[in-house]
Amino acid sequence: MELLQDHNEPLYLQLKKILRTAVVNGEYVPGQQIPTEQELMKQYNVSRITVRRAIQELINEKYLIKSQGKGTFVSQTRLSRELVKLKSFTEGCEDNHQVAKSQVLSVTVDKANKHDISRLGVSAEDKVIHITRLRFRDDVPFLIEHSYYPYPQYELLLHHNLSGSIYAILKEKLGLIPARSEKSVEIAYATAEQAQLLGINKGAALFLMRTVVYDEEDCPVHHNIVYLDGVTYRFSF
């Protein structure tokens, strides 16, 4: 397979996207060695400089790691999380022997939009509490979380420290235990702001997860829009 020599996009970017897609799609699994520079040069009919630049950018974005004298491998740092079982970010970290932390970026009360109406069952006249947090595992920024709770039903959240577990607050103050969730996942690419928060390059692949969480009476508690580092996160079904 040859890259498009007359394409507007530089050859190293074309190669980078091919390799990144192979990692994201699981063609190269965590810990697997990718082809050598010489093999990639031959396979894609490009120079060593092109191959090295593509690989270096993928290393910078944490898709790959280089082992001196051994070669280049797909990053093994992965955090597993089940889609079919409701589990908090904190619990997911604990299951992987990691420490979860959160930085609250903003807390606002906003007019409900169409997504809030469809996911929470509120009306156009209602308001929601919008909580934005940057979440860390072992002090490394890992995901950006936008959470939306009906207002004034969950007004108490405005008066608590939200850098810890919100579910713990709801359980302690309201006796509320989230029972199930509905999730969808797609691929997105980091904006400049998201890249800065997560310490990755603009345009790096992210998982975009949309979630609606329900209580034991099957009433919506909140919905989330979460952007996760596409390299260090995988889903198990």
40-55: pLDDT as tens digits: 999 999 999 999 999 9
User: How many whole angstroms separate alpha carbon 213 and alpha carbon 70?
Assistant: 45
**The Cα angle at residue 141 between residues 53 and 83, in degrees rounded to 5:** 100
User: How many whole angstroms separate alpha carbon 161 and alpha carbon 146?
Assistant: 16
Q: How confident is the model at residue 177 (pLDDT cuts 50, 70, 90)?
A: confident
Q: How confident is the model at residue 184 (pLDDT cuts 50, 70, 90)?
A: confident
Contact 103, 136 (CB under 8 A): yes
Q: Which two tokens stand for residue 114?
A: 């169409």
Q: Which two tokens stand for residue 73?
A: 């491998």
Q: Where in the chain is the domain with CATH 3.40.1410.10?
A: 79-236
The single-letter code of the amino acid at 177 is I
User: How many whole angstroms separate alpha carbon 138 and alpha carbon 72?
Assistant: 25
CATH number of 11-74: 1.10.10.10
Lowest mean pLDDT among 33-42, 47-56, 205-214: 205-214
The CATH class, in words, for 79-236 is alpha beta
Task: Specify burial of residue 188 (Cβ count, 10 A radius: 0-12, 13-18, 19+).
Answer: middle
Q: How confident is the model at residue 77 (pLDDT cuts 50, 70, 90)?
A: low
| pLDDT score of 84 | 43
Contact 3, 14 (CB under 8 A): yes
User: How many whole angstroms separate alpha carbon 191 and alpha carbon 203?
Assistant: 6
Q: Where in the chain is the domain with CATH 1.10.10.10?
A: 11-74
| Single pTM value for the model | 0.62
Percent residues over pLDDT 70 in the chain:
82
Residue identified by tokens 């108490």 is 156
